[in-house]
């Protein structure tokens, strides 16, 4: 599973890893459009 970023919205990466899922966090910059959703 690839997670785009986890600084804005924290996820359950450790839960996935504990169940054997390979997780990669890309830490892509959050698009400006997201600011409308998160109040940035």
Q: Where are the domains of the chain?
A: 2-38
Q: 3-class SS at 17?
A: helix
pLDDT tens for the chain, 40 residues: list them: 888 888 777 788 999 999 999 999 888 776 666 666 666 5
User: Which of these, 29, 21, 22, lies nearest to 4 by C-alpha position?
Assistant: 29
What's the predicted TM-score (pTM) here? 0.59
Polymer length of the chain: 40
No. of helices (H) and no. of strands (E), the chain: 2, 2
pLDDT at 2: 87
pLDDT at 22: 95
Q: Which residues pair with 24 in a beta bridge?
A: 2
- Cβ proximity of 26 and 3 under 8 Å: yes
């Amino acid at each position: 599973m690839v997670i785009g970023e986890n600084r804005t919205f924290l996820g359950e990466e450790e839960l996935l890893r504990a169940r054997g899922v390979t997780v990669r966090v890309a830490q892509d910059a959050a698009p400006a459009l997201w600011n409308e959703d998160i109040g940035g």
